[in-house]
């Protein structure tokens, strides 16, 4: 047991020295990808485009839901009887079926469109990171989410990446898949 602990401590010490040697010769940059995905104009365009494209269909689902709730309240109130009650129950069943079908189609369409546009946003983010890394001669850029404590803020290149994204942003490029004019 003691030998295993000694071996583990030795390994940690060696890895620490290797890490220090690596860091001494390596220019490292840290990027907060979560912040970039939230603040980049490309990300804002993605959100706005999704809301525009799918807003009417979401509103339609909301209307179906409201109609079903009104019918359910009528049924629960006990004011309907006989054929009226049967028709209301059938109408609720039809509304539920329509709602489920349209909701599934909407979710699938939203998922596909979001993947397509997120891919474009991610490509733009990667280009911006690459440009900043090249400009600052960084050998290694890592996501800040993997770092628990960043004592040297000079390593943080998030603001530079965001600036690069803002400079390269062309309105409609994410929604329409356009390339930036050179």
Per-residue pLDDT tens digits for 117-170: 888 888 888 999 999 999 989 888 888 776 656 666 667 788 888 888 888 877
Q: Tell me how far CA of residue 24 lies from CA of 114, 116, 148, 153, in angstroms.
A: 41, 40, 20, 16
pLDDT higher than 70, residue 23: no
Output the pTM of the full model: 0.63
What's the rounded mean pLDDT across residues 47-71?
Answer: 93
Closest to 172 measured CA to CA, from 36, 46, 40, 38 = 46
Domains of the chain are: 27-176 (3.30.910.20)
The percentage of residues in the chain with a pLDDT greater than 70, rounded to a whole number, is 76
Kindly give the pairing relationship between strand 28-31 and strand 140-143. Answer: parallel
Confidence of residue 103 (pLDDT cuts 50, 70, 90): very high
* pLDDT at 108 (0 to 100): 96
Closest to 70 measured CA to CA, from 92, 54, 100 = 92
């Amino acid at each position: 047991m003691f030998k295993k602990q000694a071996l583990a401590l030795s390994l940690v010490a060696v890895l620490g020295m290797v890490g220090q040697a690596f860091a001494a010769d390596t220019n490292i940059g840290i990027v907060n990808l979560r912040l970039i995905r939230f603040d980049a104009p490309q990300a804002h365009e993605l959100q706005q485009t999704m809301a525009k494209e799918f807003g009417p269909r979401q509103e339609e689902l909301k209307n179906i839901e409201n109609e079903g709730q009104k019918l359910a309240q009528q049924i629960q109130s006990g004011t309907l009887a006989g054929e009226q009650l049967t028709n209301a129950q059938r109408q609720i069943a039809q509304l539920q079926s329509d709602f489920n079908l349209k909701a599934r189609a909407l979710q699938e369409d939203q998922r596909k469109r979001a993947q397509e546009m997120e891919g474009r946003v991610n490509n733009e983010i990667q280009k911006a990171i690459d440009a900043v890394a090249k400009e600052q001669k960084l050998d290694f850029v890592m996501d800040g989410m993997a770092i628990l404590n960043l004592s040297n803020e000079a390593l943080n290149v998030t603001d530079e990446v965001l600036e690069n994204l803002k400079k390269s942003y062309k309105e409609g490029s994410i929604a329409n898949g356009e390339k930036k004019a050179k």
